[in-house]
């Protein structure tokens, strides 16, 4: 820990012990997180990598606008890309693993996420000014062209990459992608805040309070991508069946009926399920840019996977 960070923590944690050792929690391509124990409780300090440097100001803005669902933010520093937050409780993933998934909890989180996203509609320009990534529909076709131009990033012809045969299909899919974007734009659901790493591991639970954590992979995009992320997590990690996924979907979509009737929302959903692939591939490109060799080796297949998830329309396979 640097002397500057040590002094900063002391300014903001009045009961910080004279001798303390931060406990490593996470170290990856987007951030490093440590836990700090004080007499008054646990705190988490996060240092964001440059590519995700918008997270502190964006988190601070969201915490001001939506304090009941965001992390309890103690302090932040834009220049150093620091966040200091109070412990948000046990995370929903650990609770679900220990006790079995309590699906009403997941439904409650999805309702709260929808409410936050709807509330964020009026703040889109402010969030973009804070540096959050723009992944609105107009940005997906040029992003796709950038993705398919990087043959090395797609691992073409390599193990866990895109086959040479599939690579030949990619340029022609650009027209279909534009058609999908145009079709989604015909619906009246506004583009707003999307959490591109929205899953049970990023939900803090304390009693009936829920906090949505880790906004470094957020962007302005179609909000329904966040639902797709949570549904995938429920299916692939907790073996949610079709009926459960339908209940989770209904819990989330209910709030959006102020823009379209439920029948129309259900028509829209398969389109946004599919488009998530391009958005997510773009996020992985950013994550891999400055990653170390070990992280890149472990996750290099993420970009080709997400590109082909969109191309093949396989978000739940």
- 17: number of Cβ within 10 Å: 11
The SS3 call for residue 158 is: coil
Q: Has this prediction a pTM greater than 0.85?
A: yes
Which is nearest to 252 in space by CA: 118, 110, 117?
A: 110
Q: What is the pLDDT along the chain (317 residues), one digit of tens a residue?
A: 788 998 999 999 999 988 888 999 988 888 999 999 999 999 999 999 999 999 999 999 999 999 999 999 999 999 999 999 999 999 999 999 999 999 999 999 999 999 999 999 999 999 999 999 999 999 999 999 999 999 999 999 999 999 999 999 999 999 999 999 999 999 999 999 999 999 999 999 999 999 999 999 999 999 999 999 999 999 999 999 999 999 999 999 999 999 999 999 999 999 999 999 999 999 999 999 878 889 999 999 999 999 999 999 999 99
Taking CA 216 as the corner, what is the angle to CA 127 and CA 50, rounded to the nearest 5 degrees? 95
CATH architecture of the domain formed by 3-86: 2-Layer Sandwich (3.30)
Q: Where are the domains of the chain?
A: 3-86, 90-311
Q: How far apart are CA 150 and CA 155, in angstroms?
A: 9
CA pair distance 169, 22, nearest whole angstrom: 50
Q: Which CATH superfamily groups domain 90-311?
A: Aminoglycoside phosphotransferase (APH), C-terminal lobe (3.90.1200.10)
CA distance 52 to 19: 31
Alpha-carbon span 286 to 146, nearest angstrom: 13
What 3-state class would DSSP assign to 47? strand
- What are the Cα distances from residue 228, in Å, to 4, 38, 174, 198? 41, 38, 22, 9
| β partners of residue 82 | 47, 77
Note the pLDDT of residue 27. Answer: 83
What pLDDT score does 9 carry? 94
Place of tokens 């989604």: 184
- pLDDT value of position 3: 82
Q: In a 3-state reduction of DSSP, which class is residue 36?
A: strand
3-class secondary-structure state, position 223? coil
């Amino acid at each position: 820990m640097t002397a500057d960070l040590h002094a900063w923590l002391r300014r903001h944690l009045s009961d910080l012990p004279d001798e303390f050792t931060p406990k490593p929690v996470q170290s990856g391509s987007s951030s490093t997180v440590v836990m700090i124990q004080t007499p008054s409780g646990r705190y988490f300090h996060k240092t964001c990598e440059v590519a995700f440097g918008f997270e502190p100001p964006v988190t601070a803005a969201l915490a001001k606008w939506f304090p009941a669902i965001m992390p309890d933010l103690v302090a932040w520093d834009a220049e150093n890309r620091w966040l200091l937050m109070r412990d948000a409780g046990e995370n929903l993933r650990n609770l679900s693993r220990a006790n079995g998934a309590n699906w009403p909890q997941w439904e409650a989180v999805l309702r709260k996420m929808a409410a936050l996203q709807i509330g964020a509609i009026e703040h889109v320009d402010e969030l973009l000014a804070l540096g959050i990534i723009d992944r609105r529909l107009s940005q997906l076709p040029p992003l796709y062209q950038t993705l398919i131009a990087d043959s090395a990033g797609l691992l073409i012809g390599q193990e866990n990459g895109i086959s040479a045969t599939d690579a030949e299909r990619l340029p022609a899919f650009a027209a279909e992608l534009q058609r999908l974007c145009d079709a989604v734009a015909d619906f009246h659901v506004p583009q707003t805040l999307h959490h591109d790493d929205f899953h049970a591991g990023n939900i803090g639970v304390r009693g009936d309070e829920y906090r949505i954590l880790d906004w470094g992979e957020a962007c302005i995009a179609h909000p329904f991508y966040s639902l797709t992320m949570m549904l995938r997590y429920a299916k692939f990690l907790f073996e949610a069946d079709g009926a459960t996924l339908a209940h989770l979907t209904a819990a989330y979509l209910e709030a959006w009926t102020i823009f379209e009737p439920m029948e129309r929302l259900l028509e829209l959903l398969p389109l946004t399920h599919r488009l998530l692939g391009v958005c997510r591939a773009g996020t992985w490109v950013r994550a891999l840019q400055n990653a170390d060799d070990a992280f890149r080796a472990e996750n290099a297949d993420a970009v080709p996977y997400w590109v082909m998830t969109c191309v093949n329309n396989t978000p739940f396979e």
